[in-house]
Amino acid sequence: MATSGKITGIAYKNGAANSDYTFWADWVRNKKSDANNTSNITVYLRIKNTAYADGAYNLDKKPTVSLKVNGAAKTPAIKIIDTRENAVSTFATWTGDVSHNLDGSLTCPIVASFTHYGSNSLSSGSLSGNAKLDAIPRASAVSLGNDSVVMGKALVINIDRKSSAFTHTLRYVFG
């Protein structure tokens, strides 16, 4: 489990896998909400030309990008791809909330692809993988510290609070 990670993909030149380019997604958890059982994450789609130091750039137009996070289609902010001087080009980003499972865990699938029309050196790319986020604490555990409950005697109630943000109200009745 983590608060950030990387998913590696494949870049294509004229429809064929091309090792001159490295295509990947970086993801980071910005914050979490214990109350809502959600995480706010940002996904960055990045590419780098590893073969050419100069002249390897793609300023034709913005790519067409498809992005799914946790099974839902997202609309990322898209920029022009520019890999001159072996620079890392962050060409698409998305930030939003994802819901965790009832137990607080989350393995979040990220699927992305792009098509770069009009480029002589880069035509497309695709990736698929999972972001495994740190779990969000869920229900606290409550137990009695006494073997039995006796009227007039002190009763100890233990609460294993899973998060310092949690508050609890305890009620007990007789009869």
Express each pLDDT in 4-48 by its tens digit: 999 999 999 888 999 989 999 999 999 999 889 999 999 999 999
Q: In what order do the strands lie in the sheet with 124-133?
A: 16-17, 10-13, 124-133, 106-115, 64-69, 72-74
- 152 falls in which pLDDT band (50, 70, 90)? confident
Would you say residue 131 has pLDDT above 70?
Answer: yes
Q: What is the pLDDT of residue 24?
A: 98
69-73, 82-86, 106-110, 121-125: segment of lowest average pLDDT: 82-86
Mean predicted confidence (pLDDT) in 62-75: 96
DSSP string covering 104-141: S-EEEEEEEEEE-TT-SS--EEEEEEEEEEPPPP---E
